[in-house]
Structure 1
Amino acid sequence: MTVTTRQGMSDAAVIEQSWQEPGVFAALYERHAPHISRYVARRLGDDLADDVTAETFYRAFEKRRHYDLDRPDARPWLYGIAANVMAQHHRKETRMLRAFARSGADPVAQTYGGQLEGADDRVTATGMHQSLAAALAGLSRAHREVLLLIAWADLSYEETARALDTSVGTVRSRLHRARKKIRAALGDANPMFVTGNGGGTDRERP
């Protein structure tokens, strides 16, 4: 089967075919790795992005026979695996956020420059304020995970629930608490815009 044909296949179809032809899984990597890598870099910095992305797809490849083929879009599954890999670096992420809150120097933005334009369009126009970094650093891992999967990975509530293997109700509850804490830290300002590009009905508008 040609690469062009695979590009027209759903993620689920690619994964299913990779059961018999492992090399086909590369199409899933080519399709989603750049987005996963940018998301990881935004959270952990450029130095860990490649390693975390590689580990994410290695685990995905190893688990591919357990994938639910009724789900044509593998993004929630992949982001869920990435979240588990990033959990090992939770303390580093918190240290990065606190360092940015103190200094105002965002190491990720300095590394990527204009490449991050559009990736963070759910944060205020002036970028990730120091006060927002401090607020994010103060969130629990569970609350931060939900908030950023929706705000930066552009997942819906349902997709976030699938990524984290939890219920939509739990996602809504965690998101509400995360927003409440951030608003309190920012003096009731709401810097997080969680409407998706597609305007999903289950996303709240600011």
Structure 2
Amino acid sequence: MEDSLRARIRAGDADAFAELFDDTSPEVHRMALRATGDWAQAEDVVSLTFLEIWRLRQTVRHEDAPLRPFVLGVGLNVLRNQSRSARRHRAALARLPARENQPDFADEVVDRIADAEQVAAARTALGGLNRAERDVVLLCGWSELNSEAAAEILGVAPGTVRSRLSRARARLRASVDA
């Protein structure tokens, strides 16, 4: 029976290949699980083993030797290849310069959201002021200019700047309280 199974596998018979898979995949999985200690990696080894057997199906000989050793041998080679590949990958990563830890930007995002909310609230509050009061708040309150510098920019007396600023603050307090 095994000889006909070999011939059917060589011919590309999917049912014969499924039979071989059903008969031998649990053993390949056990071998891979014992070698790696990882269920997922063992499943990968099984998949790669049978992909490789399908690729090499023409090399299955007419010999009387059972197919089980052939399948386990291919599985062992897959394990070796994975191990070698992982070793090369670790070595390549070791050659890379160490990455600097990136600071957690979550707090910055929260701060930006809070800032955006405050700016929106301030714009709403400024919208309730007339243009002259708004200009004084922007220059003296936010840009931190003194009343003389703001008066020079606006072309008014420093006392006018101070009175506009006082009225603007009172209106802003009233809108915030409301």
In the superposition, the TM-score normalised over structure 2's length comes to: 0.42
Instruction: Select the structure with the greater relative contact order (CA < 8 A; seq sep ≥ 6).
Output: 1
Larger Rg: 2
Q: Where is the helix percentage greater, Structure 1 or Structure 2?
A: 2
